[in-house]
């Protein structure tokens, strides 16, 4: 049974460990693994080839994805989805592992509505915005990249008595910002899921400055689009010289952590096992409360991920 693996959407640390485990495990099961290069664009273009052990030798520690990824506008059109499906059939591929996030799963959901498709999605996104799973491949590495950056920024903030507004990724989900704020001891955290009481924060910060506070660290989730606004507020109303740091795509790169490698291995093995036992399965791997499982693709794409209220309660929001 030929099985293929594809990366779709934004890259995340842990893709390469998943790719290596896929190739090694599929061969171990006596089947043939295929790579689909360049994401959905590559699937449309028929950029598909048999994978070998040599292809995946020495890639576990590398960030990114050796088979590359893409975002595809063409995939929104039926004619190109049909071409993509026909390319799978031409190669004899009967099962597909999809490393991706929300957009990728919506694309697979659409494809599975129109054609007989056997796939398992593996949540692979630093945004951690996939419904039904506590975490995704890439999240732990991204959090550690942010943690390292914040520790260094705090050194400068305290030395020069400045406020720093640090923007982190996450799309419309504030998970990265919330966890980073908690673990770095930030004074302010701005996320889409919680209102920011500016007047109360202003009162607290001014009082603390009078009592000797010399710097402020503020974490802003990109989804709020409030980075510049908060920086201006700190400068004008709080009266502290302020700098903005947008961490950007460094959060997507780097060698995956042990946790992300283990998660990638476990998700991939379970996905392959499932595909070998099914013929028309449209599932997404999840982990909830330490237990691995699967959910129907429809359930995943129809619901919105929500941050655990207990995590929100841990935020030092100064209100």
Give 18-28 pLDDT, tens digit per residue: 999 999 999 99
Q: Is residue 315 part of a domain?
A: no
Spatial contact of 55 and 33, defined as CB atoms under 8 Å apart = no
CATH number at residue 166: 3.40.50.460
Write out the two tokens for 118.
């056997």
Domain-embedded: residue 318: no
Spot the catalytic one: 102, 127, 140, 260: 127
In a domain? residue 106: yes
Does residue 312 lie in a domain region?
no
Whether residues 54 and 83 share a domain: the answer is yes
Beta-carbon contacts of residue 178 (< 8 Å; ≥ 6 apart): 189, 191, 193, 221, 307, 311, 312, 315
120 and 238 share a domain?
A: no
Share of the chain above pLDDT 90, in %: 95
Q: Are residues 123 and 263 in the same domain?
A: yes
How many domains is the chain built from? 2
Task: Write out pLDDT tens, residues 86-143.
Answer: 999 999 999 999 999 999 999 999 999 999 999 999 999 999 999 999 999 999 999 9
pLDDT at 319: 44
CA 243/CA 14 separation, integer angstroms:
32
DSSP secondary structure string, 137-151? BTHHHHHHHHHHHHH
Q: Give the pTM.
A: 0.96
Whether residue 318 is predicted with pLDDT greater than 90 in this model: the reply is no
Q: What is the pLDDT of residues 182-198, one digit of tens each?
A: 999 999 999 999 999 99
- Asked whether residue 84 falls in the same domain as residue 161, the answer is no
- Confirm whether 211 is domain-assigned: yes
Q: Quick one: 31 and 61 in the same domain?
A: yes
Answer whether residue 311 is part of any domain.
no
- Residue where a domain terminates, one of 231, 252, 273: 252
Residue 316 lies in a domain: no
Residues 51-96: tens digit of each pLDDT: 999 999 999 999 999 999 999 999 999 999 999 999 999 999 999 9
pLDDT confidence bin for 164, thresholds 50/70/90: very high
For residues 265 and 120, membership in a common domain is answered with: yes
- Do 97 and 240 share a structural domain? no
Domain boundary among 210, 225, 252: 252
The torsion angle over the Cα atoms of residues 57, 63, 66 and 70, rounded to 10 degrees, is 160
State which residues form the domain around 60. 3-138+256-304
CATH number at residue 283: 3.40.50.450
Average pLDDT over residues 221-227: 98
Do 48 and 117 lie in one domain? The reply is yes
Query: Over the stretch 245-284, which tens digit does the pLDDT of each residue have?
Result: 999 999 999 999 999 999 999 999 999 999 999 888 899 9
126 and 271 both lie in a single domain: yes
Is residue 238 in a domain? Answer: yes
Burial grade of 280 (CB within 10 A; 0-12, 13-18, 19 or more)? exposed
Do 170 and 227 lie in one domain? The reply is yes
Pure H helices in the chain? 15-28, 39-45, 53-56, 78-90, 102-114, 139-160, 175-184, 198-210, 227-233, 258-277, 297-302, 309-313
DSSP 252: G
Which of 190, 219, 252 terminates a domain? The answer is 252
Query: Is 167 found in the same domain as 265?
Result: no
Examine the residue annotation and report whether 195 is marked as an active-site residue of this protein: no
Question: Are 82 and 111 in a shared domain?
Answer: yes
Position 316 confidence tier, pLDDT thresholds 50, 70, 90: low
């Amino acid at each position: 049974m030929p099985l293929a693996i594809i990366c779709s959407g934004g890259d995340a640390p842990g893709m390469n460990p998943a790719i290596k485990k896929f190739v090694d495990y599929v061969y171990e099961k006596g089947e043939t693994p295929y790579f689909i290069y360049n994401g959905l664009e590559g699937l449309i273009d028929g950029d598909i080839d048999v994978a070998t052990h040599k292809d995946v030798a020495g890639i576990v520690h590398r960030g990114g994805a050796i088979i590359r990824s893409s975002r595809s506008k063409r995939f929104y059109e039926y004619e190109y989805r049909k071409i993509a499906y026909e390319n799978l059939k031409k190669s004899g591929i009967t099962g597909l592992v999809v490393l991706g996030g929300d957009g990728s799963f919506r694309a697979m959901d659409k494809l599975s509505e129109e054609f007989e498709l056997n796939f398992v999605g593996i949540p692979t996104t630093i945004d951690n915005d996939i419904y039904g799973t506590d975490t995704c491949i890439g999240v732990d590495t991204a959090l550690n990249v942010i943690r390292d950056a914040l520790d260094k920024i705090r050194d400068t903030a305290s030395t020069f008595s400045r406020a720093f507004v640090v923007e982190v990724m996450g799309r419309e989900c504030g998970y990265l910002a919330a966890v980073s704020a908690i673990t770095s001891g930030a004074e302010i955290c701005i996320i889409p899921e919680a209102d920011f009481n500016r007047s109360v924060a202003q009162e607290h910060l001014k009082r603390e400055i009078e009592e000797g506070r010399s710097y402020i660290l503020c974490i802003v989730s990109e989804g709020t689009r409030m980075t510049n606004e908060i920086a201006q507020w700190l400068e004008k109303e709080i009266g502290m010289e302020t700098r903005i740091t947008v961490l950007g795509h460094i959060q997507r790169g780097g060698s995956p952590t042990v946790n992300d490698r283990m998660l990638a291995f476990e998700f991939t093995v379970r996905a392959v096992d499932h595909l070998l036992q099914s013929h028309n399965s449209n599932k997404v791997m999840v982990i909830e409360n330490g237990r691995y499982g699967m959910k129907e693709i429809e359930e995943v794409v129809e619901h919105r991920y929500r941050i655990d209220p207990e995590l929100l309660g841990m935020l030092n929001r100064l209100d």
